């Protein structure tokens, strides 16, 4: 993304309480503060309410961590949110066993690199795509989730997709570029 950021994103020195909230969100990461964390603090009250949701996915997920990261990488990758994708791909991707090629394909389209994924992982990304695009799931997608997850995990999946669609929108609308310390989006294919 080459456009300038569209709003004034808070930078240090922050207003009272903002630095502490951002440090909680960073959860010990030594990376430069992600601009998406700062961007939510344009509206401090909203940031305090949404922070628990975002952090909850990372520390208290019921889905497997690998499934969580596949879904997050696919939703943010498909929707062009390089900033958020780059954070998850760099911090969590290899930790959950995703190869560089798999991470790239969450952006370029897993169907074009189906050999990199298990059939269930491909289907998981298709279901995430369907939900992110339509805000609904057809019978086949629903049957897949019922077979894979319990009721709580299904609710988590639905909210996870919606949350990262929202985060993608924030990154894109505000024109937040990829994180400078994280891997960039893959180059477009031929």
Percent of the chain with pLDDT over 90: 78
Q: What Cα–Cα distance (Å) separates residue 167 from each residue in 71, 93, 164, 188?
A: 13, 18, 5, 23
Domain that holds residue 38: 33-174
Give 26 or 70, the one with higher predicted confidence. Answer: 70
In a domain, 120, yes or no: yes
Residue 95 falls inside a structural domain? yes
In a domain, 26, yes or no: no
- pTM for the whole structure: 0.94
Dihedral through CA 151, CA 56, CA 34, CA 86, nearest 10?
Answer: -30
Q: What pLDDT score does 68 carry? A: 97
Instruction: Tell me if 167 sits within 8 A of 76, measured CB to CB.
Output: yes
pLDDT-derived band at 3 (thresholds 50, 70, 90) equals confident
Q: Is a pLDDT exceeding 60 seen at residue 172? A: yes
Q: What are the DSSP calls for 70-95, one per residue?
A: HHHHHHHHHTT-HHHHHHHIIIIIGG
Sequence-ordered list of residues with C-beta below 8 angstroms from that of 72, at least 6 positions apart, any chain:
57, 84, 88, 92, 160, 164
Q: Of residues 2 and 136, which shows the higher confidence score?
A: 136
In a domain, 122, yes or no: yes
Residue 60 lies in a domain: yes
Q: What is the overall mean pLDDT for the chain? A: 93
> What's residue 1's pLDDT?
55
Query: How many domains does one find in the chain?
Result: 1
pLDDT given at position 189: 58
| pLDDT at 2 exceeding the cut of 90 | no
CATH number at residue 57: 1.20.1290.10
CB 47 within 8 A of CB 40: yes
pLDDT digits (tens, 9 = 90+) for 35-53: 999 999 999 999 989 888 8
Contacts of 3 (CB under 8 A, 6+ apart): 175
Residue 3 forms part of a structural domain: no
Residue 185 covered by a domain: no
d(CA 159, CA 42): 23
Give CA–CA dist 112/163, Å, rounded. 26
Domain contains 15: no
- The answer to whether the beta carbons of residues 63 and 156 sit under 8 Å apart is yes
């Amino acid at each position: 993304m080459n456009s300038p950021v569209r709003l004034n994103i808070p930078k240090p020195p922050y207003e009272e309480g903002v630095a502490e909230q951002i440090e909680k969100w960073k959860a010990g990461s030594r990376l430069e503060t992600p601009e998406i964390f700062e961007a939510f603090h344009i509206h401090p009250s909203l940031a305090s309410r949404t922070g628990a949701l975002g952090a909850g996915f990372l520390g208290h997920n019921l889905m497997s961590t690998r499934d969580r990261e596949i879904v997050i990488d696919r939703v943010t990758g498909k929707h062009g949110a390089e900033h958020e994708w780059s954070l998850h791909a760099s911090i969590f991707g290899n930790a959950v066993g995703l190869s560089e090629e798999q991470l790239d394909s969450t952006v370029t389209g897993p169907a074009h690199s189906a050999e990199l994924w298990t059939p269930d992982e491909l289907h998981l990304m298709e279901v995430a795509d369907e939900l992110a695009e339509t805000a609904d799931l057809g019978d086949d997608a629903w049957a897949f989730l019922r077979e894979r997850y319990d009721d709580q995990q299904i609710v988590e999946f639905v909210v996870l997709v919606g949350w990262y669609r929202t985060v993608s929108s924030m990154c894109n609308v505000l024109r937040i570029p990829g994180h400078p310390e994280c891997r960039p989006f893959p180059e477009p294919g031929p």
